[in-house]
A and B are shown apart, each in its own frame.
Chain A
Amino acid sequence: MDGVAQRGAASWENGTLAPVDRLRTERADSPTPGLVEGTEPGAGQKSAMFIHAQSFEDLTAAAEQEVGREAELDQPGECGEDLKVLVGEQAIEEQHNSDIASESRPKEEDVSSETWRSHRKHVFVLSEAGKPIYSRYGTEEALSSTMGVMMALVSFVEAEKNIIRSIHADGCKVVFLAKSPLVLVGVYRTCQSDKELLRELQYIYYQIVSLLTLTQLNHIFKHKQNYDLRRLLAGSEYLTDNLLHRLDRDPGLLLSAVTCLPLASSARDVVSSSLQAAKSKSLVFSILLAGDCLVTLVRKKDQFLHHIDLHLVFNLVGSSSSFREGEGWTPICLPKFNTAGFFHAHISYLEPASKLCLILVSTDREDFFNMSDCKQRFLERLNKRSAYQALKEAVKCPSYSVEQVGIPELRHFLYKSKSSGLYTSPEFPAVYQSDEEQERLMGLYQDLHSHLHHPTRPLRSFYRCSETENLLAWVTSGFELYLCFSPLGTKALAVSAVNKLLKWIRKEEDRLFILSPLTY
């Protein structure tokens, strides 16, 4: 496992993914926002926990490099006939709620029906031989000819030494991501940019890699090109379903950041140091989660976890009740750390009905009882402290209301500290209680995000008025901020709210962020 460690260290040293340590010591005492990375509210005091990056540019960077030599297929042209199969001809107005994941999969759906066609986001995964691997809706078998057409499109363009990136048809986008030996295709009825959609496909790709490792994937398809990968992925479809559901709802996946459980820093420090004390030779990361919030993360010195890997872990734990039955022990590949090998994760809840889930990531697959022992030691230590009670109390109310900030017109916000890779956000207010409304708001944030991160014309700030809400987005080298105001607010009010909000976050940063992450 030395190889793994060295690889991780190397990627840390080559600079591009390394967290910025400069200015950390010059942390501003003034409550006015630090506009420079490392001094903004929420920035860690010692060093960052994550290999963080210029948010999602890092994720799509590889794809961007190819842009130059590729022709984008904007006109359906000849392919139009085939595409009718995929997208249907008329735009269908009715909104379909994406079904709640983990409920029964609508696999029985008839793939020639209008309802099937009108789903807002289709995702298909196929092998380079055109064999279906995954479809979000409908059975893969029924879609083999459709996937055949997709593969034909990819190979046809490839034959001309080009790469197909997207097809824009009436009210619909088809986005392609070729990640040998897999091909991912998204068919979308949304106004999100290609780049955002590509990011979602990347996540699905990493999800599959995390189950099998890229080495194994390559090995399989090298030996048998027309292998049916569904055999190996059997039973994991709901993980991908859930991830797609999260991509529509979880701001963390949009911001490339993770949110923390609001907790008094004194309590968090005790939890962290208890976790730090329960170490073992093979242990690389100890992660304590409360639902979808991070409580603390302790890592081996010089080893960093990428937020994508952490989101895959969140998804794995959040999608499955399997870890409630006993102590889970599973191989897991963290693709942003190393696509070649498995880590082994000990996953268990602290108490049977608790939301607190401990994940111990080890390099040694024989180390289950060692990890189990680490967990016991952590629990024993924690049980002796009052901090455990404070933690349990905090888990009961894992969020805060926006009223606490004291800005009357402010309804909701997302704030990401760039240097720590952490974000904070209040609970949804009453006006966004329904699932549809929450997803609509997330859609608006996604739209703002794609304007701020436009590949050629990125914006620094963006204000938008509409009938239902006013939105402001602002990005500096230190943070990203997205605010949602009632439609009665004014632009001047929104701008003045930014300062007020940043002061509030600075005041609360001890509670909302992990300021002093620990290593073993």
Chain B
Amino acid sequence: MSAMRVDAKVVMLGKESVGKTSLVERYVHHRFLVGPYQNTIGAAFVAKPIQVGEKVITLGIWDTAGSERYEAMSRIYYRGARAAIVCYDLTDSSSFQRARFWVMELQNCEEHCKIYLCATKNDLVEGDRSLRQIDYHDAQDFAEEIGAQHFETSSKTGNNVDELFQKVAEDYNSTAFQYMTAEETGVDLGQKKDSYFYSCCHNN
């Protein structure tokens, strides 16, 4: 970790080809690459500093591959993540099912990870309303049910993308303080516990 200081680990999850990479690309490099679809291999990591109030917070963003092939690996990417951006494609109802799967997975394995439900390809839906397969209110209801923030974004136009990551950083900033105090006592207890068990094992 010495090479770069990362404050918060953020993981992108979602079905393949929903546009996770495009979202990161838009946010980090302010561009949208037109061309044949290229799936992510494994995962890609980018560190991005972001201004929150007077502080600079560095987000370490893990852009994971959506392919099922890498599903077994996904744990290493979301373990310890402070935020997960679970993406679905507004024009593909199966991607929303996949998003539900990821939410379940996170709720079971990473309870401290804050979930952001992110709809992609909003520009397509704005161009042709009939393409929309996921109702805004259905998604909103689901987001409220799981206590997640909900965004509809377009990486092509950049709509709502910066807002999404800004929110991630702000939420991190406002909760970081609570965690820090909580962790301090937590570590103390843990150490006692550890040394207790250690000596116990030794005596056996």
Looking at chain A's contact residues, is the secondary structure mostly helix, strand, loop, or mixed? mixed
- Binding stretch for chain A, among B33-41, B87-95, B190-198: B33-41
Stretch touching chain B among A15-23, A141-149, A363-371, A383-391: A363-371
**CB contact under 8 A between A331 and B45, given known A103-B36, A234-B67, A325-B24:** no
> Contact between B25 and A231 (Cβ–Cβ < 8 Å)?
no
Q: Are B36 and A327 in contact (CB under 8 A)?
A: no
* Binary flags per residue of A305-340, CB closer than 8 Å to B gives 1, else 0: 000000000001000111101111111000000000
Could you tell me if B41 and A316 are in contact, using CB atoms closer than 8 angstroms? yes
Cβ of A232 and Cβ of B76 under 8 Å apart? no
Residue of A nearest to B24 (CB): A325
The listed residue with most B CB atoms (<10 A of its CB), out of A231, A238, A322, is A322
The interface on chain A, measured as residues whose beta carbon lies within 8 A of the other chain's beta carbons, has a size of: 33
Q: Are B44 and A322 in contact (CB under 8 A)?
A: yes
Q: How far is the CA of A238 from the CA of B35 in the complex (A)?
A: 14
Segment 18-61 of B: residues with Cβ below 8 Å from A: 21, 24-25, 28, 36, 38-46, 61
- CB closest chain-A residue, reference B44: A326
Within the assembled complex, what's the spacing in Å between the Cα atoms of A373 and B3?
A: 5
* Known contacts A325-B25, A330-B42: A232-B68 contact under CB 8 Å: yes
Given A373-B3, A376-B3, residue A211 in contact with residue B44 (CB < 8 A):
no
Partner of A234, one of B2, B3, B61, B68: B68
Q: Write out the residue numbers on chain A whose beta carbons fall within 8 Å of the beta carbon of B68.
A: 231-232, 234
Chain B residue at minimum C-beta to C-beta distance from A370: B1
CA separation between A28 and B66, bound complex, in Å? 55
Closest Cβ of chain A to B188, distance in Å, is: 26
Known contacts A316-B41, A369-B1, A372-B45; A326 and B69 CB within 8 A of each other = no
* B38 and A321 form a contact (CB under 8 A): yes
- Beyond A372-B3, A373-B2, whether A365 also contacts B38 by CB under 8 A is no
Asked whether B36 lies within 8 Å of A329 as measured between CB atoms, the reply is no
Q: Decide: A232 near B69, CB < 8 A? Known: A330-B41, A373-B3.
A: yes
A321–B24 alpha-carbon span in the complex (Å): 14
Q: A233-B69, A372-B3 are in contact. Are A328 and B24 (CB under 8 A)?
A: no
Cα distance, A337 to B24, chains bound together (Å): 35
Q: Shortest CB–CB separation between residue A340 and chain B, in angstroms?
A: 15
Q: Indicate with 1 or 0, residue by residue over A339-357, a CB within 8 angstroms of chain B CB atoms.
A: 0000001000000000000
Encode contact with B along A205-234: 1 for CB under 8 Å, 0 otherwise: 000000110000000000000000001111
Interchain CA distance A235-B76 in the complex, whole Å: 21
Contacts of B1 in A (CB 8 A): 369, 373
B3–A331 contact, CB under 8 A?
Answer: no
Chain B residues within 8 Å of A54, by CB: none
Size range of the interface on B? 20 to 34
* A102-B36, A232-B69, A330-B43 known; A325+B21 contact, CB < 8 A: yes
Q: In the complex the two chains form, is B44's CB within 8 Å of A323's CB?
A: yes
Given A316, A320, A369, which contacts B3 in the complex, CB threshold below 8 Å? Answer: A369
A328-B44 in contact (CB<8A): yes
Decide if B73 is an interface residue (CB 8 Å cutoff). yes
Residues 57-88 of chain B: 1 if any A CB is under 8 Å from the residue's CB, otherwise 0? 00001010111111001001000000000000
A226–B63 Cα gap in the complex (Å)? Answer: 32
Residue from B3, B21, B70 within 8 A of A322 (CB atoms): B21
Given B21, B65, B66, B69, which contacts A212 in the complex, CB threshold below 8 Å? Answer: B69
Q: Is the CB of B41 within 8 A of A326?
A: no
A180 within 8 A of B: no
- Interface residue A190 (Cβ < 8 Å from any Cβ of B): no
Tell me, yes or no, whether B16 is within 8 Å of chain A by CB.
yes
Q: In the complex the two chains form, what is the Cα distance from A369 to B76 in whole Å?
A: 12
In the complex, A104→B36 CA distance in Å?
A: 7
Report chain A residues within 8 Å CB of B73. Answer: 331, 365
A376 to B70 CA separation, bound complex (whole angstroms)? 27
Q: Is A236 an interface residue (CB 8 A)?
A: yes
Distance A415 CA – B192 CA, assembled complex (angstroms): 67
**Complex alpha-carbon distance, A326 and B4, angstroms:** 13
Which residue in B4, B43, B61 is a CB contact (below 8 Å) of A328?
B43
- What chain B residues lie within 8 Å of A232 (beta carbons)? 67-69
Complex interface residues of chain B between 88 and 133 (CB less than 8 A to chain A): none
Bitwise, B143-161 to A at CB < 8 A (1) or not (0) is 0000000000000000000
Once bound together, how far apart are the Cα atoms of A143 and B138, in whole Å? Answer: 39
CB distance from B48 to the nearest CB of A (A): 10
**Least Cβ–Cβ distance between B176 and chain A, in angstroms:** 20
Known interface pairs A326-B63, A365-B73, A369-B1; A320-B43 also in contact (CB < 8 Å): no
**Candidates B2, B17, B70; contact of A331 at CB < 8 Å:** B70
Extra contacts, 19 of them, besides A104-B36, A327-B44, A328-B44 (Cβ < 8 A), are A103-B36, A211-B69, A234-B68, A235-B67, A235-B69, A320-B38, A322-B21, A322-B44, A325-B21, A325-B46, A326-B45, A326-B63, A328-B41, A329-B43, A331-B42, A331-B70, A369-B3, A372-B45, A373-B3
Nearest 6 CB-CB pairings of A with B: A330-B42, A235-B39, A326-B46, A326-B44, A376-B3, A327-B45
